[in-house]
Amino acid sequence: MRSTLTAFLLPASLLSEGVKAEAWQTKIQAAISSRNPAYPPDSVDKLADATLPKVEAWLKKKEADGTNFNCTAENVVVRREWSDLPIPEREEYIRAVTCHMTLPSRAPKSRFPGAISRFDDFVAYHMTHAAELHDTIHLFPAHKQFLWVYEQALRNECGYKGYQPYMNYDRYAEDPIHSPMFNGNSSSMGGNGEFDPQYTGVPQAGRNPNIIESGGGGGCITSGPFSDTSPVRHLPGIPPNPKPDGTGYNPRCLRRDINRNAALGATAAHAFSLITSNDNINGFYNQILGTPPAKNDPYPWGIHTSGHYIHAVDPGGDPATSPGDPVFYFHHGAVDRLWWVWQMQDPDRRINAVPDFSGGGHTGHGRRLLLTKRQRGTMDPTKAVIDLEWLAPSIPLMEAHESLGGNKGAFCYIYI
């Protein structure tokens, strides 16, 4: 109230620094003090909290330089961890996603007869652009933009007032099926799948162990929200899609294996090491993808793989259609958060750092998505774009690196 009034009476340039600093402190304190006491801060939370003064300084510097695109410490918004949201806010998020699943699709009908809802539009994009979304230079920024566009859709089309929550895997790793994310009650993101003896897990060629063993699910989810979603495309053992390219209408249950063996590859110890032991973006990129696999680690998957297979099977376990399980957005929120915490340790050098494997190396999602030159388009980051087609106008890739003023100011958020 006080800062709004001040802004009204004085030219912006005279808005006192004291008032701005106060607005920032109030926002940060409110988020930190309303965290869920069931989850004391882990090593990454502590590191992220300790980084907040750097974040404030960075915002001030950008404002002074005129490079902040109106993103300030006052108006920056906070993306929060799922269990830190009060239960009514979790239910409100679920309501918005459910609403999104009922709004009519805007993707080209002839190309995606199976896309029925706005929610499906995002799946349709991800499944047909998996190669571009996951190449070395696009993986982080393209998913940043994809999540932001999804968050905007929930807000603008379904009246959601909050922001995209993320998942702190560490909170749920020991006992995911009894967690606030997956316990299957009305404020969870839906429960586990039924036990399916055919489902053995996710092979991990070249790793030791070389499989993420089944966590005991694999079948249809039977409890909580999202038990009747209908993603497109098929995995083995699932009714074939009426169209060979997987774009046909193929309604079926959401299948899951809520998997502790996957989650244990994404504990706070893994995330802390990821952030603190890589000064170079190539190292960060490789470690989050688990390439090469960590030695002497019983869960050597890499955080990106772990996060996907925490909610494996159909479609969560398929690299192309994974956004058909709404938990996808919590996982990529978590990846975006880790990238951001890493960037903010040294923002001048790290925000625009781009992985460079021109001398040979790995691409996102490992061996499953080998790209042709055409699919890759340009690998020159200064020329590359993120073109989400029917989801959003295309933007230069390098404008999707900065959470605080990137995308011409559209991105203006922090994670707490």
- Does 34 sit near ligand NAG (CB under 6 A)? no
Pairing of strands 255-258, 201-203: unpaired
Among positions 59-98, residues that touch ligand NAG (CB under 6 A) are 69-70
Residues sharing a CB contact under 8 Å with residue 273, sequence separation 6 or more, in sequence order: 287
- Does 409 sit near ligand NAG (CB under 6 A)? yes
Please select the residue that binds ligand NAG; options are 164, 183, 204, 305, rule is CB under 6 A: 183
Coil, strand, or helix at residue 403?
Answer: coil
DSSP assignment of 333-353 equals HHHHHHHHHHHHTSHHHHTT-
Q: Taking the complex as a whole, how short is the minimal distance between the CB of residue 370 and ligand NAG, in angstroms?
A: 40
**Closer CB to ligand NAG, residue 183 or residue 363?**
183
Start-to-end C-alpha separation, the chain: 23
Of 258, 348, 270, 324, whose CA–CA distance to 302 is shortest? 270
Phi first, then psi: what are they for 72, rounded to 5°? Answer: -130, 170
Q: Near ligand NAG by CB under 6 A, which window of 110-118, 151-159, 184-192, 311-319?
A: 184-192
Please select the residue that binds ligand NAG; options are 72, 128, 187, 306, rule is CB under 6 A: 187
- Does 407 sit near ligand NAG (CB under 6 A)? no
**Closer CB to ligand NAG, residue 12 or residue 205?**
12
Distance CA 24, CA 42 (A): 23
- Does 180 sit near ligand NAG (CB under 6 A)? yes
- Does 185 sit near ligand NAG (CB under 6 A)? yes
**Closer CB to ligand NAG, residue 70 or residue 352?**
70
Joined tokens for residue 55 = 């974040």
**Closer CB to ligand NAG, residue 54 or residue 178?**
178
Distance CA 252, CA 158 (A): 24
Joined tokens for residue 253 = 């249950």
Q: Taking the complex as a whole, how short is the minimal distance between the CB of residue 172 and ligand NAG, in angstroms?
A: 11
Report the amino acid identity of residue 190: G
| Site residues (vs ligand NAG, CB under 6 A) | 69-70, 180, 183, 185-187, 409
